[in-house]
Structure 1
């Protein structure tokens, strides 16, 4: 089962798919999406393919070790995303070769379903209610919302009041039996985040996400000491080594992205690390169907798995939708706000290859928005 072909596909709205084919005709799919940087990750995958061609596809761990460590300059989101897509595709091949879902190869299922949450927009409280109602209509029991748009460096009374009003509107619609998570998106300084958290505590957020920018992860412990709200972070951390300080700092929920943090292989190790600190796993995934399927495969075999983010029907997917690239949408449908156990071989979904190849002829050119403060200086998006 030798690797015969490695291809990449840049597809709308902002995703990069990896296709690996073996000499006996088995095809595995992975997702190396690094939003806004498809071109550079595509080049990294092509460079890694120079090593992969002719190699035994079943040696997943050995390939992971070589691809992550054989270069003198290692790590970072570009290399990690390229490895993630390759790793997912190799696990997909392994499952298909044996006729079993990947979670069987990871030790078997520890649960029958995984709770899902969706993202909601809305710039004022009345819009928040409408957006949440739409998510509830498809069966979801949990949502996540941005705390704010652009946030000044030392948040004003008006800015903080607006955050509280929007979360309060969400809580009113959701009631006490559903959950709302609040994403600070790294837009807040530590001081502003610490001022906000006590104001949100009476509304009982499911978690506060990314209270500080990832390069300020050394401040997580100080923030954790200031609030009783569970803290989540990790979408911009790319390895066990980068997760260790925030886990030690007191986060409650680790959020590795399976398309950024080394794929299935590394996220399983991050999950085990987290479990030793009583930290739950809730992977970041506002991405495509392959990344989502990879998350679910890990989730079905991981004891400390809390909930799964997904972007089915999300408003910012312009040009294509998550399910546009799968031949059969049934495995990824919601059942009472959950994803049911995936039973198909490999990642458990069938990619519509014709749709992917057609989309690649158009490509994607999504870029991270550029925001500025009122004084003209750079602002966190």
Structure 2
């Protein structure tokens, strides 16, 4: 079997899909994307095609090594994301060739269902509480919310207390069995994180995500040691080498993204690496159905997988949503806060190729929003 071609599709709302074809008619799908840089990653995939076309698609590890380490310049979000999408598609092909789900090739499943969480929006306590209650009524047992919008380097007491009020409102509305995760999105400085986390502790958040930007990864140990709240990070870390220091710093949850951190091959290694530090795995995934399918394959094979992010109804999904590009949407049927283990070969999904091609004719040019503070200076998004 030989690879005959790689085709990328830019589809709304902000995704990039990849199809890898072979001379035996087996096709694999991946999702190589850096949000806001879809065209750039697609170009990197096109460059990788010079090496991949004519190769045996089942030599997954060999191709990962060549694509990740075979060039003088390596790593970073763009190149790692290109490799990630290619890796997903190659595993999809392998599963289809052998007639088994990818997790079977990773050693078999260690659980029968995987817990998932959803996103909520809203800035006022009553709005956030209603949104969380609605998610709870849909069967979800956990949600994630943003910790704040544009932040000053040291912001007001009102900003801190407003976040506390929102979390308190959700806790009151949904009760102690409902988990609340808070995404700081790198918008908080060290000073603001240390100021705010103690105020949130009485409400026992599930975790606080990305309290610092990745450039300050060497300082995350200070955050971990200053609070009882579990700290999660990793969506902007792209390899096991990037995770080495944060795992030893005391984080509770590692969040590699299957579309950024080298795909199934590398995230499976990161999951095993995290086990050594008693750190749970919760793959980052505010993306499309292929990325979610790849994430779940790793989850079902990883003993330390805790919970899976998914993007159904997330605020980014304007015009298209998670299920729009699938032939059978039941594979992502969430019940009681869980998704059932997929059983179909490969990634376990059937991509609607006609709908993908139609959407790609329109494409997208989604860009990261630019946040500015009230004085006009640039703020972290």
Q: Shorter-normalised TM-score: what interval?
A: over 0.9
TM-score by length of 1: 0.99
Deviation at 1:377, TM superposition (A): 1.4
Number of the residue aligned with 1:297: 297
Partner Cα separation in structure 1 for residue 258 and residue 173 of structure 2: 32
Number of the residue aligned with 1:158: 158
* Contact 2:13-2:318 within 8 A present in 1 as well: yes
Deviation at 1:319, TM superposition (A): 1.5
Partner Cα separation in structure 2 for residue 33 and residue 326 of structure 1: 18
Deviation at 1:138, TM superposition (A): 2.1
Deviation at 1:33, TM superposition (A): 2.0
Number of the residue aligned with 2:121: 121
Partner Cα separation in structure 2 for residue 67 and residue 173 of structure 1: 49
1:77-125 Cα shifts (integer Å, max 9, x gaps): 0000100000000000000001100000000000000000001111100
Backbone CA RMSD of aligned residues: 0.7
Deviation at 1:152, TM superposition (A): 1.0
SS at match of 2:114: strand
TM-score by length of 2: 0.99
Deviation at 1:170, TM superposition (A): 1.3
SS at match of 1:116: strand
Partner Cα separation in structure 1 for residue 65 and residue 49 of structure 2: 15
Partner Cα separation in structure 1 for residue 314 and residue 212 of structure 2: 25
1:225-261 Cα shifts (integer Å, max 9, x gaps): 1101100000000000111111111100000000000
Query: How do residues 210-229 of structure 1 correspond to structure 2 at under 5 angstroms?
Result: 210-229=210-229
Number of the residue aligned with 1:185: 185
Partner Cα separation in structure 1 for residue 337 and residue 193 of structure 2: 30
Number of the residue aligned with 2:140: 140
Partner Cα separation in structure 1 for residue 176 and residue 136 of structure 2: 14
Number of the residue aligned with 1:52: 52
* Contact 2:155-2:192 within 8 A present in 1 as well: yes
* Contact 2:5-2:20 within 8 A present in 1 as well: yes
Partner Cα separation in structure 2 for residue 315 and residue 267 of structure 1: 26
Number of the residue aligned with 2:337: 337
SS at match of 2:323: helix
* Contact 2:9-2:17 within 8 A present in 1 as well: yes
In terms of mean alpha carbon deviation, does 371-380 or 175-184 score higher?
371-380
1:167-204 Cα shifts (integer Å, max 9, x gaps): 11111122011100011110011011001111000000
SS at match of 1:9: strand
Partner Cα separation in structure 2 for residue 256 and residue 60 of structure 1: 20
- Where structure 2 has 5 or more consecutive residues not aligned to the other structure, the ranges are none
Query: How do residues 261-276 of structure 1 correspond to structure 2 at under 5 angstroms?
Result: 261-276=261-276
SS at match of 1:318: coil
Partner Cα separation in structure 2 for residue 33 and residue 338 of structure 1: 26
SS at match of 1:115: strand
Partner Cα separation in structure 2 for residue 150 and residue 74 of structure 1: 33
Deviation at 1:314, TM superposition (A): 2.0
Partner Cα separation in structure 2 for residue 240 and residue 357 of structure 1: 35
- Where structure 1 has 5 or more consecutive residues not aligned to the other structure, the ranges are none
Deviation at 1:136, TM superposition (A): 1.7
Query: How do residues 218-367 of structure 1 correspond to structure 2 at under 5 angstroms?
Result: 218-367=218-367
SS at match of 1:34: coil
The ranges of structure 1 where at least 4 consecutive aligned residues each deviate by more than 3 angstroms after the TM superposition are: none
Q: Does 1:4 align with 2:4?
A: yes
Partner Cα separation in structure 2 for residue 24 and residue 138 of structure 1: 43
1:29-51 Cα shifts (integer Å, max 9, x gaps): 00012110000000000000110
SS at match of 1:29: strand
Number of the residue aligned with 1:19: 19
SS at match of 2:30: strand
* Contact 2:119-2:313 within 8 A present in 1 as well: no
SS at match of 1:242: helix
Deviation at 1:297, TM superposition (A): 0.4
1:121-146 Cα shifts (integer Å, max 9, x gaps): 11100110121122123211000011
Partner Cα separation in structure 2 for residue 173 and residue 271 of structure 1: 34
In terms of mean alpha carbon deviation, does 134-143 or 316-325 score higher?
134-143
Number of the residue aligned with 1:81: 81
Partner Cα separation in structure 2 for residue 175 and residue 100 of structure 1: 40
